[in-house]
Amino acid sequence: MRLILDAPPILMTDDCDSPIIPNRYLAWLHAKFSWRTVRSYAYTLCRYLRWCEKSGIDWTRITQMEIYAFRGSLSGSNRSINHVMDRVAGYHDFAATQGVPSPYAALVRPVNLLRLRKGSRVRPIRLISMERLATYLSGFDKPRDRLMAALMYFCGLRLSEVVNLRRELLDISPADGHVCFPVRGKGRKVRHLAMSVELRDKVLQFAKTTTGPHIFSIDGRRISESTVQKAFARNRERTKIEVNCHLLRHHYASHRYQHLSRELQGGAGLNSALKVLQVELGHSHILTTGMYIHSMTAETNGRSLRDWQNEKLRGVVL
């Protein structure tokens, strides 16, 4: 089973046969969702059908025990595994409308028994110190990777947003020491972010070494997300510091919130700071933004609590 990234994506078997129901499903998704979302669904479906092929299983006759075996073959956090299982269940729901009974129906209604519960497999988000973060950002062996990581941290960009940056932003005239450029995020939502002239000049200097409509490209073609993720993995091994692409966005949110809180002088300004950050991150709900704000480290928290206690204890007789 292989995937052809056309519009909509097409699944092909090894003998060049085109499976009817999977491709009808992708065409149905293409009429409802953005290209990026359909592509993500297509990768998940291809992964599922490849597993069935490798295991010698006909997906139209898959049993509940085999469904659990597929779930056991997945790696990652509970959340990412549940994400895959939800999409595969949606595929079988569609197949049921095409005359193929869904073995998932008894598992997902009324209670979804396929979903993994919260547990020890989920790794909490832990920020690192600024010194270690600077060491990690400086550790990339290629200027391209250093610059992409810097944009994720200093602008709060997602990986997908960085690789899709186009050259048009280089033509924007700066005002008051920065440029304001549009970013298309999830769900094709557009938001505007600011970039300092110094950082924009570094992007401009790098763009002279590449071709094509995208700033980060290889032989005129947009760089793939997997290429960037592999560069991050190599840098983790080199620096012995655990940082991934999305963690830089969490660092941006936490550090930016601290700066906004000071700038808006705390108090009622804290709520305003959260709303500003919501716009900058491109979140639809402010509760999502709150999940991106973390304390630095236990040591930092300890110093903060110590200073607060010392300040309040002045003049108090115990």
Q: Which residues of the chain have pLDDT under 50?
A: 120-122, 297-299
Q: What is the pLDDT of residue 120?
A: 40
Mean per-residue pLDDT of the chain: 82
Task: Say whether 227 sits in a helix, a strand or coil.
Answer: helix
Residues 125-298: name the CATH superfamily: Intergrase catalytic core (1.10.443.10)
CB atoms within 10 A of CB 8: 19
Q: Does domain 2-108 have CATH number 3.90.320?
A: no
* pTM of this structure: 0.60
Q: Are 54 and 69 in contact (CB under 8 A)?
A: no
- Which tens digits make up the pLDDT trace of 286-316? 878 887 887 654 445 556 566 666 776 776 6
Q: What is the pLDDT of residue 110?
A: 59
Show me where the domains of the chain are located: 2-108, 125-298
Q: What is the pLDDT of residue 145?
A: 94
Q: What is the pLDDT of residue 262?
A: 79
Q: Are 66 and 104 in contact (CB under 8 A)?
A: no
